[in-house]
Amino acid sequence: MAKESGLGHTCSVDDSGGTARVIGNDITDLTYGTPRGVQDITGINSSARETLLLLADFTITMNGVFNDAVAPSAHDCFKTVPSSTVTRTITLAISGQTLPNEANLTDYALTRAPTGELTWSVPGVLNSTVVPTWA
């Protein structure tokens, strides 16, 4: 396997009706992680930490440029985040690898910069008990 760039990412996110929308064209950058909780179990007789791995998680923050065109635009997908409580399937793909997760989207924040840019940011967290797994 060769080292690769991050070019060619794809991202689909379910809208509030459960339809997957490919919105990578509106996303300018994203950050995602699959952190694990850690419990410190170090005894008082130790000189180094001892830990146990705990629950798995998934976090994501997607950022992009405002686009209110008809679906599959990001605005069409995210405009119901404040008013609906539906789980969204987020599927990330790069180089033949996919990372699907069921997530709760917690905000749809719009920013109008002093120079005129209109951008958005959408954070999400794991909803289900399914461990995030690359396939």
| Domain regions of the chain by residue span | 10-33+61-126
- Average pLDDT on 108-125 reads 97
Give yes or no for residue 71 having a pLDDT over 80: no
Q: What percent of the chain shows pLDDT beyond 90?
A: 89
CATH of 10-33+61-126, one of 2.30.30, 2.40.10, 1.10.540, 3.30.70: 2.40.10
pLDDT of 1: 62
How many of the other CB atoms lie within 10 Å of CB of 72? 19
Task: Copy the structure tokens of residue 80.
Answer: 């119901």
β-pair partners for 62: 30, 122
Instruction: Give the lowest-confidence range in 1-5, 27-31, 54-58.
Output: 1-5
- Average pLDDT on 77-102 reads 95
Q: pLDDT digits over 8-50, tens only?
A: 899 999 999 999 999 999 999 999 999 999 999 999 999 999 9
- Average pLDDT on 115-124 reads 97
